[in-house]
Amino acid sequence: MSGAVLQFLPPAATDATRLATRIGVRAQPIDLHHFPDGELRVTVGPAAATTIIYASLDRPNDKLLALVFAAEALRRGGARRLVLVAPYLCYMRQDAAFQPGEAISQKAIGRLIAQTMDRVITVDAHLHRTHDIRPVFPGIEADNLSAMPAIAAALRAAGVDPSSVVVGPDAESEPWVADLAGRLHLQHAVARKLRHGDSFVDIHFDDATLFSGRPVLLVDDIVSSGGTLLTCARALVAADASSIDAVVTHALFPPELTTGLLDAGLRSIRSTSSVPHPTNAIYLDETLAAALRREIEGATS
């Protein structure tokens, strides 16, 4: 057995097939069957020595179990190296227990994946106090890629007003906002955010006059409830920004929320292809393909 193949969980068929074409390997679906009692049957395609599994892990619980079952079948089928490509990686935000008895999901999921895979490739993992993703997956390789090169290239191709300001919703966004602003040669700023729950936040800017009469690129790594994006958009409207375009790495929010976000003052919302979503406009194919090149070269040498 030699070579490489890419297998994928069904929700990611379009993105996975496009990536497989980019790296020059076959794409095969992993079949999922749900029994009436909720149990899951997983059927994989023929394994290759290097088998890449593409699974964006939004709505993750069934998908995680499917990965464990798929890995078992692929190892038994002869796969010697399993590489998980999860452009969005779930359960990374809970890296500490804040209340007695609270589970640390990052540790649990990291160990689970490390027991089944040989390498994990993700994009802009939603980490808080964890600064290096590699210890999350003990004993295997792990890569946390940046979406900023792909986002910058897409924005540059579409045309960016040189007077634009790149804005992040909180202090945590400073590294990637500064990165994107540097790539586009734009000024940037970040808000101060006070969270009151999963959906309610207060947003303040130290100098809101910076945005008056200027276009704003509002950048966030993840949007789930949309509360932060909504509040930030309203604050920028109040600051008299001339236009507000949102760019999101991981679009987890319900598609029907898009209308409300646009009504709040956003002119457009563009997301990367990390999670299949109607707002997808920025593709991560080259970012992921570059990370997979040595896998393909090693499998064919």
pLDDT computed for residue 196 by the predictor: 53
The number of residues making up the chain comes to 301
Kindly state the average pLDDT of the residues 247-275. 95
- Count of the separate structural domains present in the chain: 2
pLDDT of residue 207: 84
- Furthest-apart CA atoms within the chain: distance in Å: 63
Q: Average pLDDT for residues 258-277, to the nearest whole number?
A: 95
Q: 139 and 87: one domain?
A: yes
Domain identity same for 74 and 152: no
Q: Are residues 72 and 190 located together in one domain of the fold?
A: no
Give φ, ψ of 12 to 5 degrees: -105, 20
138 with 221, same domain? no
Quick one: DSSP state of residue 30? P
Residues above pLDDT 70, as percent of the chain: 95
One domain, residues 290 and 212: no
User: What are the residues facing 27 on neighbouring strands?
Assistant: 6
CA angle 89, 52, 139 (to 5 degrees): 65
Show the domain range for 152. 148-282
Q: Which single residue is written with the structure tokens 């924005």?
A: 155
* Interacting residues of 79 by C-beta distance below 8 A, sequence separation 6+: 47, 48, 49, 50, 51
Nearest to 74 by CA among 25, 116, 12: 116
Q: Supply φ then ψ for residue 7, to 5 degrees.
A: -115, 150
The pTM of the full predicted model, rounded to 2 decimals, is 0.92
Share of the chain above pLDDT 90, in %: 78
Give 208-248 as a DSSP string.
GGGGTTSEEEEEEEEESS-HHHHHHHHHHHHTT-SEEEEEE
The three-class DSSP label of residue 155 is helix
Look at residue 199 and tell me whether its pLDDT is greater than 60.
no
Q: Are residues 38 and 90 in the same domain?
A: yes
Same domain, 112 and 202: no
Residue 111 has pLDDT above 80, yes or no: yes
- CATH number at 50 reads 3.40.50.2020
